[in-house]
Chains A and B, each alone.
Chain A
């Protein structure tokens, strides 16, 4: 492995690790706020127990999210100093606002976690809500920074120099809205299905079913709504990508040929040598329709993109299929849940029904990781689309490979510990919260 690949892998690893914790940090506070609300309203202690049990889990996730985020803010410089030197002052605006959002989040978290029985109960409830709101805000802001890399704005690039810098324009670049919307919904879908899935499994195993049933009902509502909205927002994103990054779209679709009435390619094995996609399902005209609402529009294929500007096709294509595939599965589950809610109440007690949701536990997070792979790998070879190449941004320091090994070992062991702690948390529910 050479140092350049190592740097990219380390960045991907760190971000892929962080995103799991940030999704949970953005969404769990809302779940807790709902449970907490019911506790304050109904005084049913199960709701208090759910809130407390969740908040212990969240504290673990939050700390891990915060340290991995701190690592990221250094890694941008450690791995991509040349990028940060030029990009920092342009796309830094959201980061400086994000500082405030994080701070509020950390303060509110202090009130929430340590404030039981110390404050007016509604003030305490409110601080929990603030954790969630500022979490979402920080998510939106970082994604605005990332979207600038996909859709650079707010500066002119003249003779290798970055002039006429306007950080506000850079923040509100063309891609920020679609990406931020899609990411926020994704966080709800992923965390919702993960939480609901774990509780569903516990119901099947008959561990404190009342506790887990009530927890399941809270999480699943968020998950269902998000899973239905997600494909709609994904469609917006796809149109946006077609407009600003045709090379990425072509790689996502493994669309080797520029054509009118372009087919939507689902699955298949892209062969970059023969420029064919074998064993794929092709829906004629659908790609043209999806990207522009017009079946007869022309979609740019990889043949119109210079070889040195093409992203890796196979990875991008598969990642996109994985994201959409799991998105469709989750949509299916969401509809199934609505059917049960409206007509088939008795399904809620059935083990096959709960097992389906238990199976869905990791789906949202797999889709999130895949989606980011599409976004980031699909942008290659550019770190700033059309302006700076990733290879020109990397640190001159040799030996990044070793750094990559060390961080891989650290993140790997941390993941194991977090899973282990979560397992213990769940196992202890009957002991700590038995009622």
Chain B
């Protein structure tokens, strides 16, 4: 059962990165779209994410619940030492979620829309930035559980170049997924071209921020290159990600929307696999030690019950979710 739970934790993270990421990305794309094109981008992304909007963000809650029920020590340590970035991320989640709902459901369309839009696009940037910072800090080895000053215990645990680079990398990935996703939703050729262009820009941003991640890792003595390239699984995953990226760019003008989405999704999956594979089960790396999923787990009975709950939950959730996505895609295609 322990492995069932760990698999679910990983899947929840992956799905949050993919679905929640596409959702953040739509806002990021809007942020980097010129004013005249924004209303159209807004309309398309609303049509695309409206129905699944709530569901996309459930994956974060599932991950957090798995963490605090199954691996409470890890949840508690992260909550203490990453309090500040977590709180900022939460403020981002509040701002984004409410702005999204307000702009779509306000009965009157007036200048308030400008405020909602602004809040929405900025928080769409900040939230994944801090998600990335939190993820980066978890593996950066800067969390010091024995720290005795405020700065070293609560600030330098996350405020460092490596974590920020990971944050920017996450933002670029979200933008990239969203752009690829929206290519399939575009209603005419010029829109499609615009999203292709956005995908290219986001891809370049991801490459640059990815390079920064490696540079800062090297500067900070974080053995990132070793994790990624030092083992066959990581190496294969990186290679596959690279191949799928090349394929994606070859197919971008001719390929079916679904193929492009699958390739992009596959690529993200490989990236997550690479970075998590090598240092599993030590998902949090402290200044002086590790927090291992295996040794920080809750009682056996708890893990068992949690596993059963997740498995039974999936029986209900997955078919319903698939049907939701399927039926809205089918209807949209019919309507066009």
**Contact between chains at A89 and B61 (CB < 8 Å):** no
Asked if A34 is an interface residue, CB under 8 A from chain B, the answer is no
Q: Whole-angstrom distance between the alpha carbons of A296 and B106 in the complex?
A: 59
Instruction: Give 10 nearest A-B pairs by CB, closest first.
Output: A92-B69, A89-B298, A63-B101, A77-B79, A100-B313, A106-B54, A88-B72, A67-B97, A428-B107, A85-B76
**Contact between chains at A111 and B51 (CB < 8 Å):** yes
| Chain B hits for A395, CB < 8 A | 79-80, 83
| Chain A hits for B272, CB < 8 A | none
* Given A417-B98, A427-B107: A96 touches B66 (CB 8 Å cut-off): yes
Partner of B76, one of A59, A66, A84, A109: A84
Count contacts between A and B, CB distance < 8 Å. 208
Q: Whole-angstrom distance between the alpha carbons of A410 and B91 in the complex?
A: 8
Asked if A62 is an interface residue, CB under 8 A from chain B, the answer is yes
- Chain A at the B interface: SS class: helix
Q: Which residues of B (17-63) have their CB < 8 Å from a CB of A? A: 50-55, 57-58, 60-62
**Contact between chains at B313 and A417 (CB < 8 Å):** no
| Chain A hits for B280, CB < 8 A | none
Q: Whole-angstrom distance between the alpha carbons of A60 and B96 in the complex?
A: 13
Asked if A121 is an interface residue, CB under 8 A from chain B, the answer is no
Q: Whole-angstrom distance between the alpha carbons of A413 and B213 in the complex?
A: 37
Q: Whole-angstrom distance between the alpha carbons of A64 and B97 in the complex?
A: 7
* Interface segment, one of A240-248, A261-269, A335-343, A396-404: A396-404
**Contact between chains at A102 and B61 (CB < 8 Å):** yes
Q: Whole-angstrom distance between the alpha carbons of A165 and B303 in the complex?
A: 11
Q: Mark A265-280, 1 if CB is under 8 A from B, else 0.
A: 0000000000000000
Q: Which residues of B (307-336) have their CB < 8 Å from a CB of A? A: 309-310, 312-313, 316-317, 320-321, 324, 327-328, 331
- Beta-carbon nearest neighbor of A90 in chain B: B302
- Beta-carbon nearest neighbor of A67 in chain B: B97
Which residues of B are interface residues toward A (Cβ below 8 A)? 50-55, 57-58, 60-62, 64-66, 68-70, 72-73, 75-80, 83, 86-87, 90-91, 93-94, 96-98, 100-102, 104-108, 150, 153-154, 298-299, 301-302, 305-306, 309-310, 312-313, 316-317, 320-321, 324, 327-328, 331
Q: Whole-angstrom distance between the alpha carbons of A397 and B75 in the complex?
A: 15
**Contact between chains at B80 and A84 (CB < 8 Å):** no
Asked if A81 is an interface residue, CB under 8 A from chain B, the answer is yes
**Contact between chains at A99 and B313 (CB < 8 Å):** yes
**Contact between chains at B72 and A84 (CB < 8 Å):** yes
**Contact between chains at B324 and A93 (CB < 8 Å):** no
**Contact between chains at B87 and A403 (CB < 8 Å):** yes
Q: Whole-angstrom distance between the alpha carbons of A60 and B328 in the complex?
A: 21
Partner of B72, one of A89, A100, A424, A432: A89
- Beta-carbon nearest neighbor of B92 in chain A: A67
| Chain A hits for B75, CB < 8 A | 77, 81, 84-85, 88
Asked if A78 is an interface residue, CB under 8 A from chain B, the answer is yes
Q: Whole-angstrom distance between the alpha carbons of A110 and B54 in the complex?
A: 8
Q: Whole-angstrom distance between the alpha carbons of A166 and B90 in the complex?
A: 32
Asked if A353 is an interface residue, CB under 8 A from chain B, the answer is no
**Contact between chains at B324 and A424 (CB < 8 Å):** no
Q: Whole-angstrom distance between the alpha carbons of A178 and B284 in the complex?
A: 41
Partner of B79, one of A67, A78, A114, A410: A78
Q: Min CB distance, A68 to chain B, in Å? A: 7
**Contact between chains at A96 and B65 (CB < 8 Å):** yes
**Contact between chains at A66 and B79 (CB < 8 Å):** no
| Chain B hits for A104, CB < 8 A | 316-317, 320
* Given A81-B79, A107-B317: A93 touches B55 (CB 8 Å cut-off): no
